[in-house]
Amino acid sequence: MTLPDRAPRRRETPAVSWPLLALAALAFTADAAGAENTADKALDGALATALSRVEPKVLAWRRDIHQHPELSNREFRTAKLVADHLRRLGLAVETGVARTGVVAIIEGGRPGPRIALRADMDALPITEELDLPFRSRATATYRGETVGVMHACGHDAHTAILMGVAEALVAVRAQLPGSVVLLFQPAEEGAPDGEAGGAALMLEEGVFERHRPEAAFGLHVSPILRTGQAGYRAGPMFAASDSFRIVVRGRGTHGARPWGGVDPIVVAAQVVTALQTIVSRQVDITANPAVVTIGAIKGGIRNNVVPDEVEMIGTVRTFDAAQRADILARIRRTVEGVAAASGATAVFEPEALGTPVLENDPAVTRAAVAALGRALGPANVRQVPLVTGSEDFGFFAQRVPSFYFYLGVTPPTTNLAQVAMNHTARFYLDEAGLALGARALAAVALDYLRRGAAGTP
């Protein structure tokens, strides 16, 4: 069985032929009818040239952002880098959107629809282990602790790619049919405790009401695919995510006299074990995948002191609303029941607003997949399994028809079965994927604009 978030067990596509890809990129958005249109062919060539010219900048931006990562809602330097670049392109720029977000609009010179392109900017509280010239040595405070900070999910690449696409689209603005809303989003990884953030806050502040895109597009770098490949899925693609906090309260005592109190550490261990039976024994995972994970446990300070309480935090991943509600109810019942059986008490606190399932619109997906095929070669575009990772782009996809896709960043020489995943200290991104990502994102964007301008479904 193929597991979510693991490399699909299938024969690998041969390494991409870069000369052929370069030739394909010259006409990467023209359909059979558009290829005969002189204006369309001129736009394709001009955009391909503009993308080629911006490639060195995309690489430099990615390295700069990687070396200076910032946690969610603290993306001050990154936001300034983005805003300054967009202003140099002559765009009117909104800053401070959802705290540190940046928004701008590219108005095309020809009539057509309006779409949104989104990139996220935040990093993770992970200490980088890769030996790179631009390795992150940044630190920050997270949940009261000093932590390393790393772009372990690839948002540095997302931001740099969209900066490059923005410059290329501005270069061909006079020929562009329609307009493009650029969304540089903070806090995709989740706002700090007590704060709002991310896509949900951008929408709450009215970014879609102000700019009214009719469709939205984005990409995510992924190590489960080779550089030069793209992965997609129509309908549900990324799971819903619900974070939670559990506090187990016992009664402290001397570590040499555990019978004199109620040990919350032992109870917490029993809770962790019991929670694993929810997915493995209580939920029909043949209908949909589901995950319950405890990500951190904190309690106690000395070897001979039984503390009063233990705190745990975790996440639930689901693809179905009824299944989600059922699992959350089972977690509460399990936590409270296990604690009561040991004479302790426990509180289960799910977050008020989880991240929804990210669903790709089927019609938009069909057209976008064809555009990706023209950009990267049809053999390099493939359907992927359900992804139990989450993506708050799902909030945008709830508002307008959307398409979100995976961009492969694993070199041909790397064993996919052993590659480091996103959210790990050794996550590695093949920088050859940056230029391809810019071409791919520009391809799906221009394809939609061109179809909308022509009235083609």
To the question of pTM greater than 0.75 for the whole model, the response is: yes
Mean pLDDT across the stretch 376-398? 98
For residue 183 the two structure tokens come to: 């969304």
Q: Mapping DSSP to helix (H, G, I), strand (E, B) and coil, where does residue 432 land?
A: helix
Of the chain, the end-to-end C-alpha distance in Å amounts to 37
Compute the distance between CA of residue 94 and CA of residue 100 in angstroms, rounded to an integer.
10
Supply the pLDDT for residue 454.
Answer: 87
Smallest CA-to-CA distance from 430 within 440, 419, 441, 439 is with 419
C-alpha span between 212 and 204 (Å, rounded)? 14
Question: How confident is the prediction for the chain on average, in pLDDT?
Answer: 93
Q: Tell how strand 381-383 and strand 230-232 pair up.
A: parallel
User: Is residue 304 pLDDT above 80, yes or no?
Assistant: yes
Which amino acid appears at position 391 of this protein? E
- The per-residue pLDDT for 37 is 78
Asked whether the predicted pLDDT for residue 33 surpasses 90, the reply is: no
Q: Is the pLDDT of residue 5 over 50?
A: no
> In this model, does residue 35 exceed pLDDT 70?
no
User: What separation in angstroms does the CA of 231 have from each of 183, 268, 382, 440, 449?
Assistant: 22, 39, 5, 11, 22
State the pLDDT confidence band at 378, using cuts at 50, 70 and 90. Answer: very high
Which is nearest to 200 in space by CA: 162, 240, 237, 244? 240
Distance (Å, whole) CA 426 – CA 131: 9
Helices (H), 342-431: 362-376, 393-399
Confidence grade of residue 19 (pLDDT, cut at 50, 70, 90): very low
- Report residue 413's pLDDT band, with 50, 70 and 90 as the boundaries: very high
Residue 380 identity: N
Domains and CATH numbers, the chain: 18-236+357-454 (3.40.630.10), 240-350 (3.30.70.360)
DSSP bridge pairs for 118: 183, 218
180 DSSP 8-state letter: E
Report how far residue 391's alpha carbon sits from residue 373's, in angstroms, rounded to the nearest whole number: 24
Please, are residues 183 and 370 in contact by the beta-carbon 8 Å criterion? Answer: no
pLDDT for 208-222, tens place per residue?
A: 999 999 999 999 999
pLDDT tier, 113 (very low <50, low <70, confident <90, very high otherwise) = very high
Token match 């967009």: residue? 86
Considering only CA atoms, which of 331, 351, 319 is closest in space to residue 243? 351
For the stretch 248-297, pLDDT in tens is 999 999 999 999 999 999 999 999 999 999 999 999 999 999 999 999 99
Q: Where are the beta strands (DSSP E) in 299-420?
A: 305-306, 309-318, 345-350, 358-360, 381-383, 402-410
